[in-house]
Protein backbone atom coordinates (compact mmCIF):
# COMPACT_ATOMS: atom_id res chain seq x y z
CA UNK A 1 0.00 0.00 0.00
CA UNK A 2 1.27 3.48 -0.85
CA UNK A 3 2.02 6.03 1.85
CA UNK A 4 -0.74 8.35 0.66
CA UNK A 5 -3.26 5.55 1.07
CA UNK A 6 -1.98 4.78 4.58
CA UNK A 7 -2.19 8.45 5.53
CA UNK A 8 -5.75 8.55 4.16
CA UNK A 9 -6.60 5.66 6.49
CA UNK A 10 -5.28 7.68 9.42
CA UNK A 11 -7.37 10.68 8.39
CA UNK A 12 -10.42 8.42 8.12
CA UNK A 13 -9.55 7.12 11.64
CA UNK A 14 -9.52 3.60 10.21
CA UNK A 15 -7.59 1.21 12.48
CA UNK A 16 -6.27 -0.57 9.39
CA UNK A 17 -3.82 2.33 9.16
CA UNK A 18 -1.84 0.89 12.05
CA UNK A 19 -1.77 -2.60 10.56
CA UNK A 20 -0.63 -1.24 7.18
CA UNK A 21 1.98 0.98 8.82
CA UNK A 22 3.29 -1.96 10.82
CA UNK A 23 3.40 -4.18 7.75
CA UNK A 24 5.28 -1.63 5.65
CA UNK A 25 7.51 0.05 8.25
CA UNK A 26 7.64 -2.32 11.23
CA UNK A 27 11.08 -3.78 10.50
CA UNK A 28 12.50 -0.33 9.72
CA UNK A 29 11.23 1.14 13.01
CA UNK A 30 12.40 -1.92 14.98
CA UNK A 31 15.85 -1.50 13.45
CA UNK A 32 15.98 2.19 14.44
CA UNK A 33 14.91 1.42 18.02
CA UNK A 34 17.18 -1.63 18.34
CA UNK A 35 20.24 0.35 17.18
CA UNK A 36 19.70 2.71 20.08
CA UNK A 37 18.41 0.38 22.78
CA UNK A 38 20.14 -2.93 21.95
CA UNK A 39 17.15 -4.75 23.41
CA UNK A 40 14.54 -6.57 21.34
CA UNK A 41 11.86 -6.17 24.01
CA UNK A 42 12.48 -2.44 24.49
CA UNK A 43 12.66 -1.91 20.73
CA UNK A 44 9.32 -3.66 20.26
CA UNK A 45 7.72 -1.48 22.93
CA UNK A 46 9.09 1.64 21.21
CA UNK A 47 7.63 0.50 17.90
CA UNK A 48 4.23 -0.05 19.50
CA UNK A 49 4.47 3.40 21.06
CA UNK A 50 5.37 4.75 17.62
CA UNK A 51 2.10 3.47 16.18
CA UNK A 52 0.19 5.17 19.01
CA UNK A 53 2.05 8.45 18.50
CA UNK A 54 1.42 8.28 14.75
CA UNK A 55 -2.29 7.62 15.39
CA UNK A 56 -2.46 10.66 17.67
CA UNK A 57 -0.43 12.90 15.35
CA UNK A 58 -2.17 12.09 12.04
CA UNK A 59 -4.38 14.16 11.72
CA UNK A 60 -3.73 17.06 12.14
CA UNK A 61 -0.23 16.46 10.78
CA UNK A 62 0.11 15.14 7.26
CA UNK A 63 3.64 13.80 6.82
CA UNK A 64 5.27 14.29 3.45
CA UNK A 65 7.50 11.23 3.95
CA UNK A 66 5.82 8.71 6.21
CA UNK A 67 8.97 6.61 6.63
CA UNK A 68 11.00 9.54 7.96
CA UNK A 69 8.08 10.71 10.12
CA UNK A 70 7.85 7.28 11.75
CA UNK A 71 11.63 6.93 12.03
CA UNK A 72 11.89 10.23 13.88
CA UNK A 73 9.12 9.27 16.30
CA UNK A 74 10.77 5.89 16.92
CA UNK A 75 14.19 7.47 17.37
CA UNK A 76 12.90 10.02 19.88
CA UNK A 77 11.02 7.36 21.85
CA UNK A 78 14.11 5.13 21.87
CA UNK A 79 16.32 7.98 23.12
CA UNK A 80 13.79 8.71 25.87
CA UNK A 81 13.72 5.05 26.89
CA UNK A 82 17.52 4.88 26.77
CA UNK A 83 17.80 7.93 29.06
CA UNK A 84 15.38 6.33 31.50
CA UNK A 85 17.42 3.13 31.57
CA UNK A 86 20.72 4.98 31.95
CA UNK A 87 19.36 7.11 34.76
CA UNK A 88 18.70 3.93 36.68
CA UNK A 89 22.11 2.47 35.82
CA UNK A 90 25.04 4.25 34.27
CA UNK A 91 26.80 2.27 31.58
CA UNK A 92 28.34 2.05 28.13
CA UNK A 93 26.78 0.84 24.93
CA UNK A 94 26.74 2.12 21.38
CA UNK A 95 24.59 5.17 22.12
CA UNK A 96 26.95 6.31 24.85
CA UNK A 97 29.83 5.98 22.37
CA UNK A 98 27.92 7.94 19.73
CA UNK A 99 27.08 10.74 22.15
CA UNK A 100 30.65 10.85 23.47
CA UNK A 101 31.99 11.17 19.93
CA UNK A 102 29.72 14.12 19.20
CA UNK A 103 30.40 15.77 22.56
CA UNK A 104 33.68 17.13 21.24
CA UNK A 105 31.79 18.97 18.47
CA UNK A 106 28.61 20.17 20.16
CA UNK A 107 28.26 22.04 23.42
CA UNK A 108 26.19 20.55 26.22
CA UNK A 109 22.51 21.50 25.91
CA UNK A 110 22.74 23.05 29.38
CA UNK A 111 25.20 25.60 27.91
CA UNK A 112 22.80 26.62 25.14
CA UNK A 113 21.24 29.84 26.34
CA UNK A 114 18.15 30.01 24.20
CA UNK A 115 15.92 28.09 21.85
CA UNK A 116 17.13 30.27 18.97
CA UNK A 117 20.70 29.13 19.49
CA UNK A 118 19.54 25.53 19.62
CA UNK A 119 17.64 25.92 16.35
CA UNK A 120 20.61 27.63 14.73
CA UNK A 121 22.83 24.75 15.84
CA UNK A 122 20.38 22.20 14.40
CA UNK A 123 20.24 24.09 11.11
CA UNK A 124 24.03 24.31 10.94
CA UNK A 125 24.43 20.56 11.53
CA UNK A 126 21.71 19.79 8.98
CA UNK A 127 23.38 22.03 6.40
CA UNK A 128 26.73 20.41 7.18
CA UNK A 129 25.29 16.92 6.65
CA UNK A 130 23.54 17.98 3.44
CA UNK A 131 26.82 19.34 2.03
CA UNK A 132 28.73 16.11 2.64
CA UNK A 133 29.36 13.74 -0.27
CA UNK A 134 26.70 11.03 -0.41
CA UNK A 135 28.83 8.24 1.08
CA UNK A 136 30.04 10.40 3.97
CA UNK A 137 26.50 11.69 4.57
CA UNK A 138 25.16 8.12 4.79
CA UNK A 139 27.91 7.21 7.24
CA UNK A 140 27.36 10.37 9.33
CA UNK A 141 23.58 9.93 9.47
CA UNK A 142 23.85 6.21 10.11
CA UNK A 143 26.13 6.81 13.07
CA UNK A 144 24.70 9.97 14.58
CA UNK A 145 21.01 9.80 13.70
CA UNK A 146 20.35 6.07 13.69
CA UNK A 147 23.10 5.23 16.23
CA UNK A 148 24.39 2.37 14.09
CA UNK A 149 27.57 0.62 15.12
CA UNK A 150 30.70 1.06 13.06
CA UNK A 151 30.42 -2.63 12.12
CA UNK A 152 26.88 -2.11 10.77
CA UNK A 153 27.94 0.92 8.75
CA UNK A 154 30.97 -0.95 7.38
CA UNK A 155 28.76 -3.85 6.33
CA UNK A 156 26.22 -1.56 4.63
CA UNK A 157 28.83 0.47 2.77
CA UNK A 158 31.24 -2.34 1.96
CA UNK A 159 34.08 -0.52 3.73
CA UNK A 160 36.43 -1.78 6.41
CA UNK A 161 35.53 -0.89 10.00
CA UNK A 162 38.84 0.92 10.49
CA UNK A 163 38.19 3.05 7.40
CA UNK A 164 34.68 3.93 8.62
CA UNK A 165 36.13 4.93 11.99
CA UNK A 166 38.74 7.14 10.31
CA UNK A 167 36.08 8.72 8.09
CA UNK A 168 33.91 9.48 11.11
CA UNK A 169 36.86 11.13 12.85
CA UNK A 170 37.50 13.29 9.79
CA UNK A 171 33.81 14.18 9.48
CA UNK A 172 33.66 15.21 13.16
CA UNK A 173 36.74 17.41 12.68
CA UNK A 174 35.04 19.06 9.68
CA UNK A 175 31.86 19.52 11.73
CA UNK A 176 33.80 21.05 14.60
CA UNK A 177 35.54 23.45 12.22
CA UNK A 178 32.21 24.37 10.59
CA UNK A 179 30.58 25.02 13.96
CA UNK A 180 33.51 27.17 15.07
CA UNK A 181 33.29 29.18 11.83
CA UNK A 182 29.58 29.70 12.48
CA UNK A 183 30.41 31.06 15.92
CA UNK A 184 29.33 28.16 18.12
CA UNK A 185 31.39 27.60 21.28
CA UNK A 186 32.95 24.18 21.32
Domain ranges of the chain: 3-88, 95-181
Residue 179 binned pLDDT confidence (cut-offs 50, 70, 90): confident
What's the CATH number of domain 95-181, 1.10.10.10, 3.40.50.2000, 2.60.40.1930, 3.20.20.70?
A: 1.10.10.10
Residue 111 binned pLDDT confidence (cut-offs 50, 70, 90): very low
Name the architecture of domain 3-88.
Orthogonal Bundle (1.10)
Residue 88 has pLDDT above 50, yes or no: yes
Spatial separation of the C-alpha atoms in residues 66 and 89, rounded to whole Å: 34
**pLDDT of the residue at 35:** 87
**pLDDT of the residue at 113:** 46
**How confident is the model over 138-152, as a mean pLDDT?**
89
Amino acid sequence: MEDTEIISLYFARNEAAIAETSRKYGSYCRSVADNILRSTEDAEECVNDTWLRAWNAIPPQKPVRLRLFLGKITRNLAFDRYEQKMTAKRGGGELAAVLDELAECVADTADVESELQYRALRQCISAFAAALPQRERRIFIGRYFYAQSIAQIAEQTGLRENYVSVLLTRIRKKLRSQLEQEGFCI
